[in-house]
């Protein structure tokens, strides 16, 4: 279980100071921490925060990264992801994983909101992402209206970024989910005027 991975990391962590390190999980890891949905994975994605010191980043890689003893034991590793890579809505929502955090000494673990996870998966939209989204919908965990609101928030947040040129692809992916899995009408997404020129 993913919780056991964090518990083992907590046991072997040797902090340089007494502060508690916040780990913000995204992707499938965030899904696993919020419900019964589970599938195989090779990594657990955690945001690399600006508040992490160089020593903390090095220790996370050394103790839980690819090739570490912890990774070999659990068959997946901790992967630090730059915050500007995921297609986040504005002000992404993270929930504390209380049942896990009560057992941790050195860390506080947070999980990206399920709807926000779905929004981020509309960017890569690999077969595995589609399977994840389909499973969440079958479990009645995706509110169609809320999904559109968060997707529009992401578009509004990233419209000045280079990825804006790919918004049309992300919208196609959203429409696929709406049409094929949610059985709702495709929603018109408001784009910056320059993208429609």
pLDDT at residue 16 in the model:
74
For residues 191 and 155, membership in a common domain is answered with: yes
For residues 157 and 178, membership in a common domain is answered with: yes
Rg of the chain in Å (alpha carbons): 18
pLDDT at residue 42 in the model:
79
For residues 103 and 168, membership in a common domain is answered with: no
How far, in Å, CA of 125 to CA of 119, rounded? 10
Q: What is the value of pTM for the model shown?
A: 0.93
pLDDT at 192 over 90: no
β-strand partners of 174: none
Q: Which of 67, 82, 112 is the last residue of a domain?
A: 112
Classify residue 68 by its DSSP letter.
S
For residues 120 and 98, membership in a common domain is answered with: no
Q: Which of 112, 141, 164 is the last residue of a domain?
A: 112
Structure tokens at 128: 């595995």
For residues 87 and 129, membership in a common domain is answered with: no
For residues 72 and 130, membership in a common domain is answered with: no
pLDDT digits (tens, 9 = 90+) for 106-145: 999 999 999 999 999 999 999 999 999 999 999 999 999 9
pLDDT at residue 5 in the model:
96
For residues 78 and 163, membership in a common domain is answered with: no
For residues 104 and 21, membership in a common domain is answered with: yes
For residues 89 and 57, membership in a common domain is answered with: yes
pLDDT at residue 196 in the model:
60
* 63 Cβ contact list (under 8 Å, min separation 6): 9, 12, 13, 70
Domain count within the chain? 2
For residues 184 and 138, membership in a common domain is answered with: yes
How far, in Å, CA of 32 to CA of 47, rounded? 16
For residues 130 and 153, membership in a common domain is answered with: yes
pLDDT digits (tens, 9 = 90+) for 81-103: 998 889 999 999 999 999 999 99
For residues 107 and 129, membership in a common domain is answered with: no
Question: In which order are the strands placed within the sheet that holds 94-96?
Answer: 77-82, 43-48, 21-25, 107-112, 94-96
Find the domain containing 191 and state its range.
116-196
Q: Which of 49, 83, 112 is the last residue of a domain?
A: 112
Percent of the chain with pLDDT over 70: 95
């Amino acid at each position: 279980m993913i919780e056991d991975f964090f518990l083992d990391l907590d046991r072997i962590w040797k902090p340089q100071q007494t502060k508690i390190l916040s780990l913000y999980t995204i992707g499938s890891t965030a899904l696993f921490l919020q419900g019964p949905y589970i599938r195989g994975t090779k990594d657990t994605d955690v945001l690399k925060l600006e508040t992490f010191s160089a020593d903390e980043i090095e220790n996370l890689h050394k103790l839980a990264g690819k090739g570490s003893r912890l990774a070999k034991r659990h068959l997946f590793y901790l992967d630090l992801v730059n915050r500007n890579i995921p297609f986040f809505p504005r002000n992404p929502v993270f929930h504390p994983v209380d049942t896990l955090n009560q057992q941790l000494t050195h860390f506080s673990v947070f999980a990206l909101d399920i709807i926000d996870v779905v929004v981020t998966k509309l960017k890569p939209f690999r077969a595995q992402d589609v399977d994840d989204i389909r499973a969440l919908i079958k479990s009645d965990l995706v509110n169609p209206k809320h999904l559109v609101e968060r997707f529009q928030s992401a578009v509004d947040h990233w419209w000045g970024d280079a990825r804006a040129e790919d918004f049309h692809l992300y919208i196609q992916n959203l429409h696929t989910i709406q049409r094929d899995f949610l059985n709702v009408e495709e929603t018109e997404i408001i784009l910056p005027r320059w993208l429609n020129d």
